Amino acid sequence: MYELQLTIDEYHLFVALPDSREALGNTAARTYLGWNRLRYDRARAGLLEKQLVVRARGRGGALRRAPVTDDSDVSVDDAACSATIRPPVAETELYEPILATLKTGWAEDRGFNALVIEETAHQGRRPTGGYWTRPDLVAVGMKTFKHVPHQQFEIVTFEVNPMAKLNVIAVFEALAHRRASTHAYVLIEMRNELTDAYVETLGNVQQAATEHGVGVIVFDDPADYETWEEVVVAERSGTPPEMLNDFIETQVSQPGQQTIETAIARGRCSVAG
Whether the pLDDT of residue 59 is over 90: the answer is no
pLDDT band at 73 (very low <50, low <70, confident <90, very high): very low
Residues recorded for the chain: 273
Per-residue pLDDT, 83: 60
Per-residue pLDDT, 146: 84
Contact 251, 197 (CB under 8 A): no
Percent of the chain at pLDDT exceeding 70: 82
Per-residue pLDDT, 56: 87
Three-class SS state of 145 = coil
Contact 168, 205 (CB under 8 A): yes
- For residues 261 and 57, the model is more confident at 261
Whether the pLDDT of residue 48 is over 60: the answer is yes
Burial of 8 (0-12, 13-18, 19+ CB in 10 A): exposed
Percent of the chain at pLDDT exceeding 90: 55
What is d(CA 182, CA 234) in angstroms, rounded to the nearest whole number?
9
End-to-end CA gap in the chain: 62
What is d(CA 122, CA 179) in angstroms, rounded to the nearest whole number?
20
pLDDT digits (tens, 9 = 90+) for 92-144: 999 999 999 999 999 999 999 999 999 998 765 555 455 546 899 999 999 98
Three-class SS state of 124 = coil
Burial of 108 (0-12, 13-18, 19+ CB in 10 A): exposed
Whether the pLDDT of residue 69 is over 50: the answer is no
- For residues 129 and 9, the model is more confident at 9
- For residues 201 and 260, the model is more confident at 260
**Domains of the chain (ranges plus CATH)?**
2-85 (1.10.10.10), 91-272 (no CATH)
The three-state (H, E, C) secondary structure of 187-208, written as one string: EEECCHHHHHHHHHHHHHHHHH
Contact 61, 25 (CB under 8 A): yes
The pTM score is 0.69
